[in-house]
Amino acid sequence: MIEPLELIFEIDCPPDHAFGVWTERFDQWWPRGHSVSGDPVEIVLEPRAGGRIYERTADGTEIDWGEVTVWQPPERLAYLWHIRRDRADATDVELTFSEAGDGTTRLRILHSGWERLGAGADEWRNANRGGWNGLLPHFTSFLDSKET
């Protein structure tokens, strides 16, 4: 088994707000360059177990990124993640949003299932560490903005 990636950090808002922004405003905070097309017109996270995560391009093409496997607002969200990969090679992402005190949230992200990627698993795991570190500031900046 390849060690999962685990990221934990605190966010300056309550868990229900952090969960809501992650899921309901996914299209607004997700960076457009962190996509398959490089310039999607819409990024969708369907809010339910079995919901799709995908981008829609200007010509209407929908490109799947993943599938919601656990939907427990406002505490827990999990999904299969296969952006730029076949669904059979999907990894598992689990996010938990918990009260950290004083109106803050402890967000724990556990990204696992690297074994499904075969010989390149370690390389993909390392690349995803960089991906998360580049993605999360977009989320926290959006939370800090007046748009939320």
Nearest C-alpha neighbor of 98 from the set 72, 133, 122 = 72
Average pLDDT on 14-36 reads 95
Which residue stretches of the chain are H helix?
15-24, 26-29, 121-144
β-pair partners for 108: 8, 96
Joined tokens for residue 41: 């017109």
Bond from prior residue into 74 cis (ω within 30 degrees of 0): yes
**What CA–CA distance (Å, rounded) separates 24 from 70?**
15
Q: What is the mean pLDDT of the chain?
A: 95
**What pLDDT is attached to residue 148?**
66
Q: What is the pLDDT of residues 83-103, one digit of tens each?
A: 988 999 999 999 999 999 999
**What CA–CA distance (Å, rounded) separates 63 from 47?**
17
Which amino acid makes up residue 134?
G
**What pLDDT is attached to residue 147?**
73
The CATH code of the domain that includes 107 is 3.30.530.20
pTM over 0.75: yes
Domain residues for 94?
5-144
> Domains in the chain: how many in total?
1
Q: What is the pLDDT of residues 45-71, one digit of tens each?
A: 999 999 999 999 999 999 999 999 999
3-state SS class at 125: helix
